[in-house]
Amino acid sequence: MAGTFLGTFGVYTRWTTAAGSSGLSSVYLTPDYQCVQTKKLTSGQTARRLGISTQRIHQLAAAGQLAFEETPLGRLFLLEDVDQYQRLRLARLRQRMQPPVG
């Protein structure tokens, strides 16, 4: 479902990349009238992007390991935060796979 719609906290636009990734962009005004745009993902989109279950996404959010915004649309995760979590996750995995020194 594509399109733009008005939400409680701003205007949301659905986006899709050529590779098939999709999410929401929100545009809102700050108190000093600056326009801010952010890309956000739903729990399901975040789970697919990270290759884990939505249940695990909710566990990570509850543990404070993955920041989210509670909206009338449900929990939304900033794309930058999801990508940063993925980079940290991969770095930890690489570190565990290193052969022991000595």
Here the CATH number for the domain that contains residue 76 is: 1.10.1660
User: Is 86 inside any structural domain?
Assistant: yes
Report the pLDDT value the prediction gives residue 99, as an integer from 0 to 100. 80
- Return the minimum-mean-pLDDT range out of 1-10, 12-21, 37-46: 1-10
Report the pLDDT value the prediction gives residue 74, as an integer from 0 to 100. 84
User: Is 100 inside any structural domain?
Assistant: no
d(CA 34, CA 13): 18
Nearest partner of 65 among 86, 94, 38, judged by Cα? 86
User: Is 49 inside any structural domain?
Assistant: yes
Q: How many domains does the chain have?
A: 1
pTM value? 0.64
Percentage of the chain beyond pLDDT 70 is 63
Residue numbers of the domain that contains 42: 4-95
Residue 35's DSSP bridge partners are 29
For the segment 46-75, the average pLDDT, to the nearest whole number, is: 92
